[in-house]
Amino acid sequence: MLTYPNIDPVAISLGPLKVHWYGLMYLLAFLCAWGLATYRAKQRSNWNAEMVSDLVFYGALGVVLGGRIGYVLFYEFDKFLADPIWLFKVWTGGMSFHGGFLGVMVAMLLWCHKYKKTWFETLDFIAPCVPTGLMFGRIGNFIGGELYGRQVSDPNFALGMVFPTDPLHLVRHPSQLYQALCEGLLLFIILWWFSSKPRPRMAVSAIFLMGYGCARFFMEFFREPDADQGYILFGWMTKGQILSFPMILIGVWMIWYAYQKKIFDWGPQKNT
């Protein structure tokens, strides 16, 4: 069994100013996305630094606004109905990946309108830069001792640990780290390799949808369901799995459609 590294969630404290690790993880996520997108833009003649900077800015707004609104609507709608102002109390915590995903979709539509690019050309470009952000986000969850895993069947399980934030003090899976590796690092490697060569329009986005959907669906078997949600369907299916399943189906259709149409948006490569 592992010992949970009881890290202070406040990374920097300067008088009344407190910078939390979770906020720093978001900053690292956006910086990493900007760096990766900048590198990808250098490989293409139809992208430039201004486009990338605006793209990351629009995406960051989509993540934050969509993530918060999605969390409220998907997971805490009753609380919102009782107190609509609670939506704006972001310091109380609460972000949803699926809400953030939808927020980014809307943000990308606005960006595409500004730069006159097609939606899927843009999504295919940015998709490989997303998983590292998911990885940092899950590390932030781990440091905060939130969204921990289910109880392990064997208390001597090598990766099991007791989270100090768990009122039951059970030996649990560090599912945040599982998700960081699976939804983050592994998905990044797959997408970066797949997108390193010209692919049909929608294909890279399809791999992201299928990859994240499958990874999240599987990881939910290790993650403790939210106390107020529990198992939604069939006595075992969680809200995260319900929201991820359509992503898998849409991704399967998209990859089929992409290779049927075979429309390429790569553009001429730059000489480097």
Report whether 132 contacts 36 (CB < 8 A): yes
DSSP 172-214: E--HHHHHIIIIIIIHHHHHHHHTTS--BTTHHHHHHHHHHHH
- Look up residue 11 and give its two tokens: 């990374």
Report whether 43 contacts 272 (CB < 8 A): yes
Which of these, 112, 108, 100, 139, lies nearest to 22 by C-alpha position?
A: 139
Whole-angstrom Cα Rg for the chain: 20
Report whether 233 contacts 220 (CB < 8 A): no
Which runs of E-coded beta strand occur in the chain?
10-14, 17-20, 161-162, 171-172
Q: Is 138 annotated as a binding residue?
A: yes
Q: Using CB atoms within 10 A of its CB, is residue 269 exposed (0-12), middle (13-18) or buried (19+)?
A: exposed
Instruction: Give the rounded distance of the alpha carbon of 135 from its chain centre.
Output: 8
Q: Which residues are annotated as a binding site?
A: 138
